[in-house]
Structure 1
């Protein structure tokens, strides 16, 4: 049997197992283990052992549980809810102000969390009911929450970028910096879209009544304190890291400690909250660990049989595709796979194939990591199996149906696709900040 046929069988077997509903790490790990035993015999039992120690020797892995813990404790402590109250009061008189404020809230939560789950939970349970009660169009605000929450995997500290950095062997600090400008550009597009839609059709977003905002200026200024804690946490975590005062692992520890201290200062740090936060953190962290172990084993077998070089030969020699055509094909494959898989599953499946090919084509792997992460954002909200679609359906108020959720996402998908196109045409949108900081 040729190595090309073995590679196709491995990939096809993995996809079949994933379609049966098996857990992602189990499907990938089973195919990797089975192929290794068939190809290399009993010596293959050393592969998971080596993969485990390779993983444990990679210190940025320590950042994952710390960032996940930080996000959950900020959510459980109600700090995000306080932020929304502040945004509600200060943006309430602007047409579409609450929707714009929700986008800003999502950016702030993204900067404190690194995952889209926390932003989605806060937006669906706090922001959506408030905006519905004030007469906002349910399709518009559902799209705002879904699009805004997806910023969590692009704005630093992005957990997805940490995973990409581990698999592609790229510095996480450079990936984080590369995600800043595309993330802010995307958020700006969302805001402009809301402003234009509300100007064209004012009925979509009525202004908040004077009765709701009848508050003395001194009370409004006091509400601004809700933004102080998130800013201090973000500065302590990301600012110190970018300035070179703390390492990546130290930065995540600072963020987790600052979040715990903030919850204690607010008087909301209880044993019950700590227990619940620790349980959720352990669950998500173990899932990521098993996925990465499976990915390392799968990648070792796949690379060992020469599948990566076979794909390079197919694209470059046989099909005679240009480097840019190959990159576009990769992006399209991400979008198609994202309709059925989550971002982590996509990464562990395609990274062993695409990362060496991108390196061969002499594209910047930091830039490609940003492209991958932005495509994951589309995958999060694209039917039929977009992760955020199901989260939204589970947490949204009853009056928002699945049809409303599907209708709401297309303008935001279009804006995300436009941002991807801009980053492909102008790579410096992603590379300028990391190059500037590294050069300085």
Structure 2
């Protein structure tokens, strides 16, 4: 059977099995091992699975995964994020759309402490959404704000999605995380600029705090809240500054971050037995899920390496279709957005990375830069109808007064802003590459 037919059969089987509702790692791993058994027999099939497992266990930076997940759960379960939002509520309230702007800043900080978009969505929906609706913010505006802000979790370090990409693309996690900082801040700044401008034009969308409410908050209370909100930011600085300055490696920084989060929750007297158990159980659950997904992805990728399917796809794009390298790159980005309407980010990465990463390398694009492009495209796909991942999370967490139609309409301007940000980073790659190149190639 020709190589292209085998590759198409593997992809078709993968998509078909996904419809059964089985876990992603099981579907991907099953297709990979069965394909290996048919192609190379018992010995070859077993060897591929076992060799990828040993490769995974020997990847030292993988230790950072449970550390950052644990840190995020400690900060979430101990309600340190509540202090942050209360601080933004007070300090940003007098600005048009100020609470929505504060929500974006909150999401940036939550992203910097967790690395998962789901955490930002959960915190935004439970803390920010009720407060914003109570203060007569437009429901379409605020649901769009929370969805857009939570998507930053997979771009701003420590991004768990970038850890997966680093493993599959064989790129340094540290450089990918550094590459995500400026694009993440750029995206957040574009969101803030849009919110401020929109609420400036139409103040009814994001009314400011009334004069009576502002007068009721004393100056001492404002500074007390400022200090309370600075604590989570301090955790991030304690973790990242030694790493950026070269005093610690990535693994040591992740441990420092986890210990700092525990110390902060103990200091605030919020580290109860229940919080501790919840954090450990959730960390174990999420970490194991990601480990299985990475293992399945490596096995799937190894099959494609053996089939030499990448060369076929590259020849199809360049020779048969006659596309230049930028046209191929844009086509790959569009395919991510299309797949994002019915798959999550890890599934997309596992399915297409074994094909796309070698093509990107052959086209002489920087793989660290491409990792940032992939991550931003995942953000867009998260919010793209009809089946965007964040759309249904928002529907599950929002009150009944917010309809699914409201949620769909809410994301249109924010998707436009994200496409603008993606275009800027494609046109000016140094937005992503300046920081890692400066720190790793002084």
TM-score by length of 1: 0.98
Q: Deviations over 1:391-419 (max 9, x none)?
A: 11111222112111111011111111111
How far apart, CA to CA, are the structure 2 residues paired with 1:377 and 1:173? 21
For 1:32, the equivalent position in structure 2 comes to 32
In the other structure, the counterpart of 2:70 is: 69
- 1:405 maps to 407
- 1:384 equivalent among 375, 386, 397: 386
**Counterparts of 2:263 and 2:389, CA distance in 1:** 32
Match of 1:281 in 2: 283
Alignment-derived partner of residue 373 in structure 1: 375
Q: Deviations over 1:85-130 (max 9, x none)?
A: 0110111111111011111111111111111111111110110100
Distance 1:320 1:223 in 2: 59
Q: 2:431 aligns with which of 426, 429, 432?
A: 429
Matches within 5 A, 1:305-316: 305-316=307-318
SS at match of 1:397: coil
Counterpart mapping for 1:25-424 below 5 A: 25-43=25-43, 44-213=45-214, 214-424=216-426
Q: Count the aligned residue pairs.
A: 440
Unaligned runs of 5+ in 1: none
Instruction: Give, in angstroms, the shift of residue 235 of structure 1.
Output: 1.1
Describe the superposition over 1:185-212 as per-residue Cα deviations: whole angstroms up to 9, x where unpaired.
1111111111111111111111112333
CA distance in 1 between counterparts of 2:52 and 2:376 reads 28
Alpha carbons 1:157, 1:176 under 8 Å: kept = yes
| 3-state DSSP of counterpart to 1:398 | coil
Question: What is the CA-CA distance between 1:35 and the residue it aligns to?
Answer: 0.6
Instruction: Give yes or no for the alignment of 1:12 onto 2:12.
Output: yes
How many Å separate the matches in 2 of 1:110 and 1:118? Answer: 8
1:19 and 1:386 mapped to 2: Cα distance?
16
Q: Which runs of 4+ in 1 moved over 3 A?
A: none
| 1:68-99 Cα distance to aligned partner (Å, 9 max, x none) | 11111101111111000011011111111101
How far apart, in 1, do the equivalents of 2:347 and 2:138 lie? 34
CA distance in 2, matches of 1:153, 1:117: 9
CA distance in 2, matches of 1:371, 1:339: 17
Cα distance between partner residues in 2 of 1:62 and 1:437: 23
Q: Secondary structure at the match of 2:211?
A: coil
- Partners of 2:344 and 2:113 lie apart in 1 by 22
Are 1:77 and 1:268, in contact at CA under 8 Å, matched by a contact in 2? yes
Partner SS state of residue 192, structure 2: helix
Structure 2 gaps, min length 5: none
How far the C-alpha of 1:175 sits from its partner, in A, is: 0.8
Secondary structure of the 1:320 match is coil
Distance 1:387 1:71 in 2: 20
Q: Distance in 2 between matches of 1:20 and 1:406?
A: 26
The CA distance in 2 between the partners of 1:211 and 1:402, in whole Å, is 35
TM superposition score normalised by structure 2: 0.98
Give me the whole-angstrom Cα distance separating, in 2, the residues matched to 1:262 and 1:391.
29
- Residue pair 1:198, 1:205 contacting (<8 A) in 2 also: yes
